[in-house]
Amino acid sequence: MTNRAPIFLAIDTSDLKTAQKLAADVSPYFKGIKLGLEFFMRFGSDGVRSVLKAADHDTKFFLDLKFHDIPNTVFKSVQNTLDLKPDFVTVHAAGGTEMLKAAVKAVENTKTKILAVTVLTSLDDADIKTISGKTVQQTVLDYAAIAEKAGVHGLVCSPHELKVLNQKLDSHLDLIVPGIRLHADNTDDQKRIMTPIKALENGASYLVIGRAVTQSDQPALVAKKIAHDILEKETKVA
């Protein structure tokens, strides 16, 4: 996995064959794949296994179900994902300290890491102020502080919060970043976005990229180019 870019491909589809082909096409270039609610609600655990089987054997797996419920329910729900051996599972930081601790406890003695989702990239300051009365950055920092104290292994945040989080948090936390767009991309329903190289320069551990690849006529070629550009940049910096 040494020559793959630190990217998870977001495979958001209700078509199993499409998901399998995308996993096979992209896994030589990206370190992992991400499957979320749309796919999981259609195909469940068996569908996940079939997609992982189509990918290279050492491809990382990010299960993005964003659990948010009472602590006992989240504990049992996270436990129920462990048969799939995910590298990452998401919960909402807004669930609070006890829920986050329950999620972390559920993955003890496994390879699975818990990621706390801070503020979705589809939201901006105007949206968040109607909920919390604060800015996005203030809300992300509040959630991050709660999540870090609860012992989570990483955070999901937009690229725009990377610098301040890297200043405020312990360096051991993974920062997983959606809202990544290429220069020519439509922003779609995302508001806080950034290019891949810029996000990595700002301190992202991993990027999540979806439509730029999955909606392309040649997803393997697009993934190869993105990975090449990132790895070439990292080589020059090194």
Mean of the pLDDT values across residues 17-23?
A: 98
User: Is the pLDDT at 1 greater than 70, yes or no?
Assistant: no
Q: Do 147 and 100 form a contact (C-beta atoms < 8 A)?
A: yes
| Exposure string for 157-192, b = 16+ CB within 10 A, e = fewer | bbbbbbebbeeebeeebbbbbbbbbeeeeeeeebbb
Intra-chain end-to-end CA distance of the chain, in Å: 18
User: Is the pLDDT at 55 greater than 80, yes or no?
Assistant: yes
Mean of the pLDDT values across residues 24-28?
A: 97
- So what's the pLDDT on residue 184? 46
- So what's the pLDDT on residue 58? 94
User: Based on the number of CB atoms within 10 Å of its own CB, is 61 exposed (0-12), middle (13-18) or buried (19 or more)?
Assistant: buried
The tens digit of pLDDT for each residue in 215-238 reads 999 999 999 999 999 988 766 655
Alpha helices in 81-218 (DSSP H): 97-106, 125-129, 136-150, 162-168, 196-201, 211-214
- So what's the pLDDT on residue 121? 83
Classify 5 as helix, strand or coil. Answer: strand
The domain limits of the chain are 5-237
* Token duo for residue 157: 């945040």
For the full predicted model, state whether its pTM sits above 0.75. Answer: yes
Active-site choice (21, 66, 129, 225): 66
60 in catalytic set: no
CATH of domain 5-237: 3.20.20.70
The tens digit of pLDDT for each residue in 59-87 reads 999 999 999 999 999 999 999 999 999 99
Q: 28-37, 140-149, 174-183, 195-204 — which is least confidently predicted?
A: 174-183
The tens digit of pLDDT for each residue in 138-188 reads 999 999 999 999 999 999 999 989 999 999 887 789 999 998 877 645 555
